Amino acid sequence: MLFNSLAFGGFLIIALILFWSAPRTHRVFIIIGLSYFFYMYSYPIYFFLLAILTLINFGLALEMARKPSRRKHFLALAISIDLFVLGFYKYAGFASREVLNLLSSFGIQSDVTAIEITLPLGISFFTFQMMSYVIDTYRGLPAEKSFWNFAAYISFFPQLVAGPIVRPQTLLPQIKADHKYDEDQAVRGLFLIAQGLVKKVAFADFLGGYVDKVFAAPGDFSGLATLIGIYAYAFQIYFDFSGYTDIAIGVGKLFSFEIPINFDLPYISKSPREFWRRWHISLSTWLRDYLYIPLGGNRKSSGRTYYNMMVTMLLGGIWHGANWTFLFWGAYHGLLISIQRLLEENLPAAKRWIEKPSPLVAVGSALLTFHLVSLGWVIFRAQSLGQAVEVLKNVFSGGQGVETFETPIVVMLSIAILSHIFRSRVKLEEWYVRMPAPVQAFGYSCVTILIYLFFTTEQRFIYFQF
């Protein structure tokens, strides 16, 4: 069920009525029922996968608490099961295709076909959420005694299929709390939902049409038009993913739940490391806390620190999907962060420029970082490394096609850039929720008209494929 669909609108109204009219002791079951219905709407069969993994992780975490001397074994078993399931669904098809291609390169033909598996929605997100729970339980977090509370934590529908990845310390206490309707939270929730829909429908989907054409046939576009397509994808993926997150956070607020932010204006970042503090925050902090720091972080030698950074970013790339492009994208960002650390260690001036830049240096650093990130997005978006190279080459050589670009796309990109600058200076949400109710109603009317004008079909969110 897509957030940008009429079906979800109807579902949300019914969900709110059921939740707020139910007795406090029954609300956890309402959450579970709603969440599983939401998850089963598109692929009913994967109801069993989510339920079984939830039961396994809950049981093994309880065993850790009951048998502390064997908690390492239970942790290893839980992580192994979660990673096996994640690996099978995400990478078995890719691995089988690569093996068949390798055999074919040696002249060995096989009647066996590659494995084709439908990827369960949100598997990358809910398996990471399960792993964070069992790891935190191993580290000393009290194991949740109620299976129903744990099931609600794992399946909470606003963030189930595309995050954010919410830690147990953040969401479990809220599952068990006595929620009371908060008008201020509801108003903020409606604002975030409207903002997220505008990001998705008016920006991401609109830009995506041009991006698809550029990546499908870069030779049909001039170098400048191709470059515009690269910029368009940078903002398409930002508005698509942050739009989903805004809606998820907004829906959570309607139920009086607080879901952490996942994006913080990433394109004003002045360095690659700052970018990852602002982009997909729940994933970057997950990788930091459960992978980079356990590997040793920066507590050991410089060589080991660079190794830890590269491994972390490589695995972050692979997390996104089974394609060589994601592996190279992760390696590329690992290289950027390593180069930044190398410069800071050996050039004190570089560290000062990054930490306390002058206005001119800050703008220059932000522009450089944005272009470095956009270069990485070409690898991320491309279906193959060859296509990525073709797109990048076309920026400099230009195709034989049109020498002009689509003016509406440039206008939309300009608005996107200005929105980043504006939002860095103005707390739009705080300003809007203080407006009188008629002004807010007028704003929502304008948003509705805007969405109607731009809406064509219900487009899936990009991160649903991960």
- Active site members: 320
CA 163 vs CA 10, 383, 403: distances in Å: 22, 24, 40
269/421 Cα distance (integer angstroms): 11
Residue bearing tokens 């599952």: 175
DSSP secondary-structure letter at 200?
Answer: I
CA 348 vs CA 121, 271, 306, 356: distances in Å: 46, 15, 19, 12
* Nearest by Cα to 27 from 142, 246, 174: 174
Distance between first and last Cα of the chain:
16
Burial 416-430 (b: 16+ CB within 10 A, else e): beebbeeeeeeeeee
Q: What 3-state DSSP class applies to 402?
A: strand
Residue bearing tokens 């309880």: 62
Q: Which two tokens stand for residue 163?
A: 């995050």
